Amino acid sequence: MPAALPPSSVRNPENRTSIKRLTREHFALYRGYLDGVAVEQLHATYGDATTDIRATRRLIGLLRDTLSGAARRTRDVEATHLLRLRPGSIPDARPLAASEMPSLETYRESVDPDGFHSEADLLELYQAEFPQENSLGVDRRSTRNARLRRRQIDALARMEASLVQAPQPDHPVASWLEPAIAGRLQHTGIHTLADLLGFIEQRGHRWYASVERVGPKAARRIVDWLALHADSLRHMLSKRALVPRRRLVQGDPALVRPRQSGIVPIESLAVPTEIDGSAGNNRAQNHGLPCSLDTDLQAIDAWLATRQHSPHTARAYRREAERLLLWAINEKKKAMSSLDGADCAGYIGTFLADPQPAGRWVGRAKIERTHVDWRPFVGALSNRSRETARAILHAMGQWLVEQNYWAHNPFSNAPAVAIGARIDVSGRSLNHAQWQSVVGAAARDRYSQRELRDYLALNLAYSTGLRRSELAHATTGRLIRPTLENGLETDVGSASATGWQLGIPGKRHAARTIPVPQAVMELVFESLRARGLPRDPGACPADTPLLAHFRTGDSLTPDGMGQVFRRLFAWTSVLSTPQNLLDSRRCFNASTHWIRHTHSHHALESGTDCREVQIRLGHANLSTTLLYVKTRRHGSLADGKSGVLPAR
């Protein structure tokens, strides 16, 4: 679609006496008008989709007045006259070609099929309608009209060369965009075209979502117009600002941020030479021990390379090292290798507890590292998070001392942060009545594929106590088929088919197997059947997820699994009764881990041994499991020690 006209100077023209900023699009519109293009077509090509054809008609009249007035001011008398001539004032007297003239016989059949005229009369009529000079060329009037039309086009070209303006970065958005859109942009804090370009670059292709009442169609028109004038604006919108993030693969050049100073990710950080750590006060002076590390950035990269135990661990270590380096450079104005014990104690005890100034250090959650709005924090750190940061940085310091990079570890004397129990389970589980409400809200007489998946997820989580990542990664290949005493496998779904187990890979420790109640396995069989797969898990591919996306069949991510349970809790709060009311605020904060806590509480209350629960949950220490023990017992479960309610 051709670029739309710069709307602020073309919309609502009846309220203006002239157009203050003429563009090439204005001249293209008026040139089409003079050439006789229908106003309907001009409106479809250049007009605003939110207005009707009358707006384009008014604009054409305003352009006529503006152009003739400008020609009058420049004393271009010819242009003043010619640009006010309407289409049709210079008729196109095109002569008929010889091939278009009918023969005398054809003419006789059309005008005198009954032979009323004599041959002489018919020839006279024919010559009067199709004069002989028509075949010899254009007459003098046609020549004059053609010359007049050329002069009209030349006059328009002269006016375009002298009057047209190109948008500049410092021009107000109100000078180029339609008033309604410009007003909404200004309300968001976008006042100039440079502001608009920067706003789009910062927020990516869905930038319009941050502007009230600007949708994707209007945003597309604005972006197209900015691209049309990229030369005069001296800025071409980047690929990252135009292409959805999901279409950019990891490592795409569009995602790479240039090296720069300030609060930026460590991979894009440019550190001034004087504080890069090469001459830090805490650099080791033992020349007898080799050290290939020269700067703090090199030291951090080398340390992180030795800590690639898991993606989660690597991210946590990088995050803490990155925060410390950025704080040292930007707040203390010194190298990380120049920090002393007092600096490190203040970092843990004061700065992490409340990163200030917040506008510089704290950003919104879930912003990509490649985004210019990325910040190292999403808020103040809890005592436990600060203690974790201290432990990680202490370990980094010890490693740097061992590598002969630091002379001593400045975190050695940083006091530990006082914290409570490692797991806070208070207020994060459901009593039996509340659990019944959750199950009742998820149960159906007839299930859709999605509802069956959610109901299975609820029962599987409650009966096993799995973490959300373990639920997301559970597959048919990890189900262990029950066997009879003679070692033969039982038939799927038979009455004697008891003892199904699910293998869970180890998290820091050995793998474990968890019994899965038969009632839950019945839901597994039914879910596989609903997905068009064999009811027998052993007949499915080993990587078939037990809890799959209901449209694609792919495994759910841990975050996707969390969304399943948040939806279940939200639906429960809607259907709660006064007797089993789940507080809406609690439901809003509920997560998959609530089911894990509920499983543990209910299992212990029903008399299950603590060590059995410890193995089922995958706790390394029994003390962690004992956190779930309550002094007051609330009774037994609905279906024994398994913790699963009967499937409905």
155 shares a domain with 191: no
pLDDT of residue 508: 55
Q: Pick the residue with more confidence: 559 or 585?
A: 559
d(CA 140, CA 137): 10
Whole-number CA gyration radius for the chain: 39
For 172-215, what is each residue's pLDDT tens digit? 998 888 788 999 999 999 999 999 999 998 888 899 999 999 99
Q: Is the pLDDT of residue 492 over 60?
A: no
Domain of residue 102, residue span = 98-137
Does residue 85 form part of some domain? yes
455 shares a domain with 504: yes
Contact 84, 71 (CB under 8 A): no
d(CA 527, CA 452): 6
Distances (CA, A) of 465 to 238, 369, 440: 47, 34, 19
For 369-410, what is each residue's pLDDT tens digit? 887 788 999 999 999 899 999 999 999 999 999 999 999 999
474 shares a domain with 377: no
The residue from 247, 282, 312 where one domain ends is: 247
Mean pLDDT across the stretch 67-83? 82
Torsion of Cα atoms, 233 then 239 then 244 then 246, to 10°: -160
For residue 42, what are its two tokens? 């001009």
d(CA 235, CA 169): 9
Does residue 71 form part of some domain? yes
158 shares a domain with 11: yes
232 shares a domain with 198: yes
- DSSP tag of 274: G
Q: How many helices and strands in the chain, by DSSP H and E?
A: 26, 4
What 3-state class would DSSP assign to 406?
A: strand
Q: State the DSSP string of 354-376.
A: S-SSHHHHB--SS--TTSTT--S
pLDDT of residue 511: 80
CA angle 392, 340, 349 (to 5 degrees): 55
Does residue 647 form part of some domain? no
87 shares a domain with 156: yes
For 300-354, what is each residue's pLDDT tens digit? 999 999 887 778 888 999 999 999 999 999 999 999 999 999 999 999 999 999 9
What 3-state class would DSSP assign to 269?
A: strand
Q: Is the pLDDT of residue 8 over 60?
A: no
CA angle 309, 312, 316 (to 5 degrees): 95
The residue from 226, 247, 268 where one domain ends is: 247
592 shares a domain with 447: yes
619 shares a domain with 484: yes
Q: How many domains does the chain have?
A: 5
Q: Model-level pTM?
A: 0.53
Does residue 291 form part of some domain? yes
CB atoms within 10 A of CB 398: 14
Does residue 223 form part of some domain? yes
CA-nearest of 619, 601, 600 to 504 is 619
Does residue 414 form part of some domain? no
Amino acid residing at 339: L
585 shares a domain with 466: yes
d(CA 452, CA 443): 8
The CATH number covering residue 611 comes to 1.10.443.10
CA-nearest of 299, 201, 310 to 257 is 201
d(CA 641, CA 106): 103
Does residue 417 form part of some domain? no
Does residue 2 form part of some domain? no
28 shares a domain with 157: yes
For residue 589, what are its two tokens? 């904060």
Q: Is the pLDDT of residue 574 over 80?
A: no
397 shares a domain with 276: yes
Mean pLDDT across the stretch 492-509? 66
For residue 410, what are its two tokens? 């400045």
d(CA 311, CA 340): 31
The b/e string for 543-577 (b: 16+ C-beta within 10 A; e otherwise) is ebbbbbebeeeebbeeeebbebbbebbeebbeebe
53 shares a domain with 157: yes
Contacts 24+ apart (CB under 8 A), 439-443: 439/645, 440/575, 441/568, 441/571, 441/572, 441/574, 441/575, 442/568, 442/571, 442/572, 443/648
